[in-house]
Copies of this chain bind each other. A is one copy, B any other.
Amino acid sequence: MSHRLTVVGIGPGRADWCTPEVTAILAAATDLVGYAPYLATVPESCRARRHASDNRVEAERAELALDLASGGGDVVVVSSGDPGVFAMASAVLERLDEHPDRWRDVGVSVSPGITAAQALASRVGAPLGHDFCVISLSDVLKPWSVIERRLDAAASADFVIALYNPRSRHRPHQFADAITIVGRHRDPLTPVVVGRHVGRDEEVVTVTDIAHIDFDAIDMSTIIIIGSSTTCVLDRPTACRVYTPRTYVDPRTARG
């Protein structure tokens, strides 16, 4: 009997950003476990039993999936983006780690997907073309002081910075605080790319700069990419393009 659990990423929303590997894994599954809106994107031709859950119940979802796999069958946990980036793969492995013997017969594997940050970057060009950091601003599972320390370190070393989970109703001021920290190390005209619902019909992508971010337009469906000192904006006839060059000239040396 199979005791297999695969955590897959369907990408940021567009069907043609989901890898053929993930499509094949979904087609062979006996059970799908995931947040309801992600399961809804899996084609009806996939005949697996569907176990939809609410948001913010990652641990319970992981436990259900491990139990189903332990009972036999090919169980697939469906994440958006890449399941290994702020998503369900860690949640499943955390649960296994807490109870190493309970699901000893279950083999867990992961199939990668396009992340929201990559998708947003591709929409405007190549802002992640050079060294970059990816940071979640959610302080539900980590102290805000750690987030501040990481923002400061990333900004001081002139990384391009991609921000996930930028702002929720419970912490409306933190995104502005994060921008203040980064702004201590960057020119106010540093390019900023803001993407909402990237890869979905309602997608909105804006190119702005640190001094002109519209804080009210930022919510949990938004991803932000803040350029480094070398990130450029090209005003093209067809579309504005943003990129970070492969060549790095230290701004401190260039100024001196």
Contacts and interface: CB of A to CB of B under 8 A. Distances in A.
Interface of A: 7, 11, 14-21, 24, 58, 82-87, 89-91, 93-94, 96-97, 100, 104-105, 107-115, 118-119, 121-123, 125-136, 141-143, 145-146, 149-150, 152-154, 156-159, 232, 234, 236-239, 241, 243-248, 250
A156 B156 CA distance: 12
Point out which of A108, A127, A247 has the most chain B C-beta atoms below 10 A from its C-beta: A108
A90 B244 contact: yes
Contact of A16 (B14, B20, B142, B158): B20
A83 B122 CA distance: 8
Contacts of A20: 15-18, 20
Given A19-B19, A108-B236, A115-B118, 7 more contacts: A15-B20, A16-B21, A19-B114, A84-B122, A90-B129, A97-B232, A150-B157
B159 A129 contact: no
Contact of A133 (B129, B146, B154, B246): B154
B142 A89 contact: no
Contact of A243 (B24, B93, B132, B142): B93
A94 B244 CA distance: 9
Contact of A86 (B87, B129, B238): B129
Contact of A84 (B112, B128, B143, B247): B128
B143 A17 contact: no
A239 B96 CA distance: 13
Contact of A118 (B18, B85, B248, B250): B85
B108 A112 contact: no
A2 to B, nearest CB: 12
A93 B133 contact: no
B131 A135 contact: yes
Nearest first, the 7 A-B pairs at minimum CB distance are A90-B129, A142-B248, A153-B157, A89-B126, A93-B243, A16-B21, A107-B238
